[in-house]
Amino acid sequence: MIVIAPLNAPQVYVPPLNGVEHPLAPEVMNAMLRYGNRPVGLWKIVNLLANAQNPASRALRRSWRLRYLCACRELLRFKVIYRHGGHIATSNFATRPRPKSPKRLSPSVGATTSEIGGSNRVAAVVEKEPNPPQTPEPEFVAVNQSTPPAAPEPKSATPTPAEITQAARALAQQPRRGRKLTGWLHGRRVTRFTPVIVPGGQVLPVYLVRRSFVYAVAPDTPQYEGRILLRYRAADVCLFRSPQAALLGRLPPRAGRRRGRSQNNPMYE
């Protein structure tokens, strides 16, 4: 039997989601289509959708908010929607945040512009008196003839340009974490949604670290339905190190540059 809808039936537009597989992503897109291309607050959409579920308790409402927030993160990751500050929109924003102004040096650190005669501050360089030449003392090295010299440690193979490009593309597609600190884990202050390896081998984002326990965000799968956070002992959790970031970190710096040192700092000239 074939059922034909009448002409006046409401049409529900389901936009292409560009590979987003989150089950709540279509609801987020339908809620944003009410505002067209205008920016709307991220938490306004999340709270609107969570309240529409009529949760019976605050804990259930918090669970729905977290699930809709994860759906928004997936849409932002695949560039289906765009974010600027606390607002999101279906089209990219025309304006960009202003660059941060450089930090001003205190009078005790640098000289004023009137003393230098220009607008750029230059740190004062203290010249030291040259040390008198010293005669090098003879150095005695004991060599054991019976022990062969240690073999050089094997070096890892140099990655190819294709591997470097693929690693950089994978890092660029990962969602950026916020700056909200959650606690200390293995001597390091971690931020919210930092990936960790939990018992069982899963990589989950951290939501909170408190009193030697790590609370990770539960995956949005039927196995963890109704659960928001998973608790693990901090001793059983390891920080996840991205293999793409490790590959790029082993690369030597470009010619004429030194890793970890500012090019504008006069003390390294």
pLDDT value of residue 47: 94
Examine the pLDDT at 12 and tell me if it is beyond 60.
no
Least confident among 84-98, 131-145, 170-184, 202-216: 131-145
pLDDT value of residue 234: 92
DSSP symbol at 197: E
Rounded to an integer, the average pLDDT of 208-217 is 91
Q: Of 183, 241, 171, give the one whose Cα is nearest residue 208.
A: 183
CA distance 86 to 83: 7
Q: Which of 40-49, 235-244, 245-254 has the highest mean pLDDT?
A: 40-49
Categorize the per-residue pLDDT at 263 as very low, low, confident or very high, splitting at 50, 70 and 90: low
Rounded to an integer, the average pLDDT of 4-28 is 70
Higher-scoring residue by pLDDT: 226, 8: 226
Examine the pLDDT at 186 and tell me if it is beyond 70.
yes
First vs last Cα of the chain: how many Å apart?
A: 82
Ramachandran class of 152: left when φ > 0, alpha when ψ lies in -120 to 50, beta otherwise: beta
Q: Which domains does the chain have, with CATH numbers?
A: 25-89 (1.10.10), 164-249 (no CATH)
Q: Of 211, 182, 214, give the one whose Cα is nearest residue 199.
A: 214
